[in-house]
Amino acid sequence: MTRPAAAVAASLADALASLAPTGVRCEVLPIDAVHRASLFADERAAMAAARPRRRDEFATGRAALRAALGRPVAVPVGDGGRPVLPPDVTGSIAHDDAVAVAVAGSSARWAALGVDLERAGPMPADEAALVRRTDEGDLDARMVFVLKEAAYKAWSALGGRLLDFTEMRVEVAGEGSFVATPIVSGAPNLRGRYGLVDERWLAVVAFTRRTGVGCFGAGLA
């Protein structure tokens, strides 16, 4: 039986709050057309040709990000679809068919954040071969997908280029933490945490400005 979106949002909100480092604010909302009313003009224009469901997920993602930020700022669509935030804050959005999640924090502390979620479940072998590198062993391909997408969003916010999934390598550390490394000369390690919550993989990556490293403890070198 499908759980109500509000119940899913509540359990994901608890999980995200425990996965995210201190100082990163999180919000999870059930996807709802009601959030269309709070779109700013530029945001509404970006969705002018979109289907109703896409408008709803976009609007709910914006609402979640504004709630995480704690202020009603416009978040235009930037290069490649990334959310463009005021310079003093950074953040990230993801959605599935039921909920939108957002993380946000001060740019003085965080150079980049990334979040992703996706329903758990087996991935067809041909897709898994595109997502998982041979040196990532037998990690769940759907999980690898989510870890890489969260890391890619942070990487993109740092100015990194578009990557194929096999151009990012993930290594899972203990206690739900991971390191994602773009296979690009000079790229940093992107550290994150992940979990399986309400039949969904959920991952968050945070890259600090002060030390220039991930913020989830020593983890993997």
70: how many CB neighbours lie within 10 A of its CB? 11
Size of the site for ligand COA (CB under 6 A): 22
Q: Which residue's CB is nearer to ligand COA, number 159 or number 175?
A: 159
| HEC readout, 119-186 | ECCCCCHHHHHHHCCHHHCCCCHHHHHHHHHHHHHHHHHCCCCCCCHHHEEEEECCCCEEEEEECCCC
Shortest gap between Cβ of 12 and ligand COA (angstroms)? 13
Phi, psi of 42 (to 5 degrees): -65, -40
Residue from 27, 77, 72 nearest 50 by CA: 77
Nearer to ligand COA (CB atom), residue 84 or residue 218: 84
Q: What is the rounded distance in angstroms from the CA atom of residue 16 to the CA atom of residue 24?
A: 10
Contact 170/144 with Cβ under 8 angstroms? yes
CB-nearer residue toward ligand COA: 119 or 218: 119
Q: Which is nearer to ligand COA, 162 or 221 (CB)?
A: 162
Residue 149 interacting with ligand COA (CB under 6 A): yes
Residue 111 interacting with ligand COA (CB under 6 A): no
Q: Which is nearer to ligand COA, 42 or 218 (CB)?
A: 42
Q: Does 105 bind ligand COA (CB under 6 A)?
A: no
* 70 token code pair: 């704690």
Interaction mask 38-77, ligand COA, x per CB under 6 A: -------------------xx--x----------------
Stretch that binds ligand COA, among 19-27, 33-41, 152-160, 212-220 (CB under 6 A): 152-160
CA dihedral 33, 39, 44, 46 (to 10 degrees): -100
Residues that bind ligand COA (CB under 6 A): 57-58, 61, 80-83, 92-95, 116, 148-149, 152-153, 156-157, 162-163, 165, 168
